[in-house]
Chain A
Amino acid sequence: MRYDFDLPVSTEDLMKLKTGDLIYITGLIITARDLAHKRILEYKKENKNYPESFEKIKNTAIYHCGPIIKKDDSNYKIVSAGPTTSARMDSVENEAAGILDMHIIIGKGGMKNLDVKNQKIVYLAYPGGCGAIASKMITGVEHVEWLDLGSSEAIWFLKVKNFGPLIVTQDTTGKSVYK
């Protein structure tokens, strides 16, 4: 089945998805990889306030991606932005997604420990190495947080249009296509 989603999306809609479905998403998503995940957990532990901008990304999507960004004058431009290996975030993703209230994870390679059933999370795969073509569907950078972590580790708020085809490789029933 093909689905086109405008983000944010309800968990009810995500629960309809089955492995093998193709998804195209439009709206705002955020990038987060190793260091951003680490900091999301640290803030919780240290009772620190998250940036206010995190409020508007609830029920959107976490994209495991360390993009190449070019700064022209004062504008950020996405040059290449494919997915990174999700397995590196596997031990911390349930907690991070819970904190941010996220139910869509986009990456490559899948996540063995993702609590898809209880947290109602779907994992969507995009082929690794396809950073050039992915940049075509990212229409702009709306905001950035934690740039001090480095350009590829920061949380980029990306506007995407018909970003896909993303394949549902892990659905909320616990089914996974990974061997």
Chain B
Amino acid sequence: MGINIEILEEKIKLLLKHAIKRSVTLIPNDIQNFFEELEKQETNEISKNQINLILENFKYGKEKSIPLCQDTGILNFYIKLGNQFPIISNYSDIINEAVKEVTDDIPLRSNSVDPITNKNSGTNTGLNSPPITLEIVDNSSDLEISILPKGGGAENMSKLFMLNPIDGLEKLPRIIKDLVKEAGGKPCPPIILGIGLGGDASNSMKLAKKALLRPIGSRNERSDAAELEVKILNLLNELDIGIMGLGGKITCIDVHIELAMRHPASFPVGVILQCYCHRIASFKINEKGEILNEI
């Protein structure tokens, strides 16, 4: 006998609600550690003041269980679905219900506005929202869902470049540096940068956002891509934009590049900026609904 599907669906919804709450009220350890280290090194008075406020905010949000930032963003869902997991559909419905309920309970700010009428649904759901990315994992009976709340300030600085393949890679560090310079204090630096290198226009943007799920300090397993990540990271930290654009050594926390094969005539580069308040939560369960991991 397999597990009761309705019970499993309810369990997934509950875990989703918990994960959404974690995603907006807690800062992941890697970002927490980054700022604690930065606080020890920083000598500039204004920067130190900002770091202390940021650390205080992480602490207070956790203590009170309230959203760290009032911009609880657009909730991006990433599903890794094992091909032997008992539920293969309904995720859109389950996620929509969970999002509607936590929008009232936590509460979240409703960031779902009709692009023509300007009417806010008030639920963080509606036309093609929230965005869900589904990936099927072979030879697996597990389900893993990650949540990335993406605020407007950083998202507004995102860009798709369609470079000329003849000089694409050569020009890449420069155009990214210009983009981040232009963004200045607007995306809430120090930023995390996701880059989708290659693919087609839509895939490069998707990869750029997905790259943000990687832990701080992790490098692409391809050494040439990893070198490019470090090169761009160092270049961005020469910009002197600093925390919240007030000047200083740290403009970028990390750069993550994901690769995809491109058309010979196209060189798409998707770039997604993420604010320092980089919130992520996830959970993983097996086919019986037992929790394997909760972050």
- Seen from chain A, the residues whose Cβ lies within 8 Å of a Cβ on chain B are 20, 22, 35, 65-68, 70, 79-82, 84-85, 87, 108-110, 125-133, 135-136, 150-152, 165, 167, 169, 177-179
Chain B, residues 89-127, CB within 8 Å of chain A (1/0): the string is 000000000000000000111110100001010000000
- Which residues of the partner chain A approach B241 to less than 8 Å between Cβ atoms? 179
Instruction: Give the Cβ gap from B64 to chain A, nearest Cβ, in Å.
Output: 7
How many angstroms between the C-alpha atoms of A73 and B29 in the bound complex? 37
Q: When the two chains form their complex, are residues A66 and B185 in contact, meaning their CB atoms are under 8 A apart? A: no
How many angstroms between the C-alpha atoms of A110 and B245 in the bound complex? 9
User: Contacts A108-B244, A125-B246, A127-B53 hold; do A68 and B46 have CB atoms under 8 A apart?
Assistant: no
Q: When the two chains form their complex, are residues A68 and B53 in contact, meaning their CB atoms are under 8 A apart? A: no
In the complex, whether B272 has a CB less than 8 A from a CB of chain A is: no
| Residue in B closest to A177 when the chains form the complex, CB atoms | B246
Q: Name B47-65 residues within 8 Å CB distance of A.
A: 49-50, 53-54, 56-57, 60-61, 64
Kindly identify which residue among B56, B107, B108, B111 contacts A133, using a CB–CB cutoff of 8 Å.
B56
| Of listed A66, A110, A129, residue having the most chain B CB within 10 A | A129
How many angstroms between the C-alpha atoms of A128 and B243 in the bound complex? 10
How many angstroms between the C-alpha atoms of A20 and B247 in the bound complex? 12
| Residue in A closest to B65 when the chains form the complex, CB atoms | A132
Instruction: Give the Cβ gap from A116 to chain B, nearest Cβ, in Å.
Output: 17
How many angstroms between the C-alpha atoms of A82 and B152 in the bound complex? 13
Kindly identify which residue among B49, B57, B70, B240 contacts A65, using a CB–CB cutoff of 8 Å.
B70
- Which residues of the partner chain B approach A127 to less than 8 Å between Cβ atoms? 50, 53-54, 57, 188, 243-244
User: Contacts A80-B68, A135-B66 hold; do A128 and B46 have CB atoms under 8 A apart?
Assistant: no
User: Contacts A66-B71, A150-B120 hold; do A132 and B61 have CB atoms under 8 A apart?
Assistant: yes
In the complex, whether B132 has a CB less than 8 A from a CB of chain A is: no
Q: When the two chains form their complex, are residues B70 and A81 in contact, meaning their CB atoms are under 8 A apart? A: yes
| Residue in B closest to A136 when the chains form the complex, CB atoms | B60
| Residue in B closest to A110 when the chains form the complex, CB atoms | B185
Q: When the two chains form their complex, are residues A85 and B156 in contact, meaning their CB atoms are under 8 A apart? A: yes
How many angstroms between the C-alpha atoms of A65 and B53 in the bound complex? 17
- Which residues of the partner chain B approach A108 to less than 8 Å between Cβ atoms? 153, 185, 188, 244
Instruction: Give the Cβ gap from A55 to chain B, nearest Cβ, in Å.
Output: 28
- Which residues of the partner chain A approach B246 to less than 8 Å between Cβ atoms? 125, 167, 169, 177-178
In the complex, whether B20 has a CB less than 8 A from a CB of chain A is: no
Can you report 15 residue pairs joining A to B where beta carbons are below 8 Å apart?
A20-B46, A35-B118, A80-B68, A85-B186, A110-B245, A126-B53, A127-B50, A129-B54, A129-B188, A130-B53, A131-B57, A132-B67, A133-B61, A150-B110, A167-B49
Kindly identify which residue among A70, A79, A130, A179 contacts B245, using a CB–CB cutoff of 8 Å.
A179
- Which residues of the partner chain B approach A82 to less than 8 Å between Cβ atoms? 69-71
Q: When the two chains form their complex, are residues A178 and B185 in contact, meaning their CB atoms are under 8 A apart? A: yes
Q: When the two chains form their complex, are residues A178 and B61 in contact, meaning their CB atoms are under 8 A apart? A: no
- Which residues of the partner chain B approach A109 to less than 8 Å between Cβ atoms? 153, 184-186, 244-245
Kindly identify which residue among B60, B64, B113, B277 contacts A128, using a CB–CB cutoff of 8 Å.
B277
How many angstroms between the C-alpha atoms of A81 and B70 in the bound complex? 5
- Which residues of the partner chain A approach B156 to less than 8 Å between Cβ atoms? 85
In the complex, whether B81 has a CB less than 8 A from a CB of chain A is: no
- Which residues of the partner chain A approach B60 to less than 8 Å between Cβ atoms? 132-133, 136
In the complex, whether B145 has a CB less than 8 A from a CB of chain A is: no
How many angstroms between the C-alpha atoms of A167 and B48 in the bound complex? 12
| Residue in A closest to B185 when the chains form the complex, CB atoms | A109
User: Contacts A127-B54, A136-B60 hold; do A179 and B275 have CB atoms under 8 A apart?
Assistant: no
- Which residues of the partner chain B approach A128 to less than 8 Å between Cβ atoms? 69, 153, 188, 244, 275, 277
- Which residues of the partner chain B approach A66 to less than 8 Å between Cβ atoms? 70-71, 109
Q: When the two chains form their complex, are residues B186 and A125 in contact, meaning their CB atoms are under 8 A apart? A: no
Kindly identify which residue among B46, B107, B113, B186 contacts A79, using a CB–CB cutoff of 8 Å.
B107
- Which residues of the partner chain B approach A125 to less than 8 Å between Cβ atoms? 244, 246
Instruction: Give the Cβ gap from A39 to chain B, nearest Cβ, in Å.
Output: 12
Instruction: Give the Cβ gap from A109 to chain B, nearest Cβ, in Å.
Output: 4
